[in-house]
Amino acid sequence: MKWNERDIPSQKGRVAVVTGANTGLGFETARALAEHGATVVLAVRDVAKGKQAASRLTGDVSVQELDLTSLNSIRAAADNLHNTLPGIDLLINNAGVMFTPRQTTRDGFELQFGTNHLGHFAFTGLVLDMLLPLANSRVVTVSSVGHRLRADIHFDDLQSQQSYSRVAAYGQSKLANLMFTYELQRRLARHSTTIAVAAHPGFANTDLVRNSPGMLRAINPIISPLLSQKPEMGALPSLRAATDPAVLGGQYYGPIDLGGNRGHPEIVASSPRSYDMAIQQRLWSVSEDLTGVTFPELG
């Protein structure tokens, strides 16, 4: 059977925080969760756009300012969620940037690595204590088929200061998303019912392609109708990872048709590199050092 939005069980009584939820995949993820009864927090950089998005949704929806390019903003958002929510059942690390020209975050990190990985690493670490007491809570982090693109964790140049390729930097950030998920799950599995799961949307037709290299932007109108799928379909892997009772920690969900670009969500395999435990653990340690965020002790 093909897993669809109608397969989402009732989320009544559950609290979901979705990053980057004012548009695209994040918006569709938040919409579906709210329509199935969840209390949903749109964690977004632009509060005005977040409020516009919230006005289009039904159910219990609120907006939380969260700028993943700023550790100060991340800490402030985490503090506010601690003060306003009883707990978090679902954390959906969805926000991201793709193929940007070289820029840095407010803390000096390369923008793609800083936003896609370090920002979510820090945010997860700061709110994880809100998930741990709750049965069946989940951290879902959105990666990409792009984690295979020229991808490695370049510990000798994590911030791309020596050389910069927007494609390679994106690939590194999405590979880091997966390695973070696998290492987080290994730590959670020892002492917690909280699980960590990854997902990827395939080739979803969103505005992320706006920063693509010129040649890709030029051919996008041609290939997009053939390979891409609507954001509602692109959100299904995240939704299944977040809500399917059969999901296990450490699994990775994505479409399987057309080379993983389209289709309904299934369990998929990530690159062999992503399963390297030594690199996962080194990345975790470096991420703690860079962000100053240490995860709660699980014991």
Is the C-alpha dihedral spanning 102, 111, 183, 232 positive or negative? negative
Beta strands in 170-278 (DSSP E): 195-199, 252-257, 262-267
Are the C-beta atoms of residues 127 and 53 closer than 8 Å to each other? no
Identify the bridge partners of residue 104 per DSSP, sorted by sequence position. 110
Are the C-beta atoms of residues 256 and 266 closer than 8 Å to each other? yes
* Residue 48: exposure state from Cβ atoms within 10 A (0-12, 13-18, ≥19): exposed
Selecting among 170, 182, 252, 253, the annotated active-site residue is: 170
Q: How confident is the model at residue 297, as a pLDDT?
A: 85
Q: How confident is the model at residue 218, as a pLDDT?
A: 46
pTM (2 d.p.): 0.92
Q: How far, CA to CA in Å, does 296 sit from each of 46, 68, 72, 92, 119?
A: 29, 20, 19, 19, 17
164 is catalytic: no
Distance CA 297, CA 290 (A): 19
The pLDDT averaged over each successive group of 10 residues in the chain (299 residues) is 94 98 97 98 98 97 98 98 98 97 98 98 98 97 90 94 95 97 96 94 62 50 57 95 98 82 88 97 98 89
Q: How confident is the model at residue 214, as a pLDDT?
A: 53
Domain 12-291: CATH architecture, name and number where available = 3-Layer(aba) Sandwich (3.40)
3-class SS of residue 287? helix
Q: How confident is the model at residue 202, as a pLDDT?
A: 83
Nearest-10 crossing angle of helices 166-191, 277-291:
100
Tokens of 158: 């994590």
Tokens of 11: 């989320």
Is the C-alpha dihedral spanning 245, 260, 277, 126 positive or negative? negative
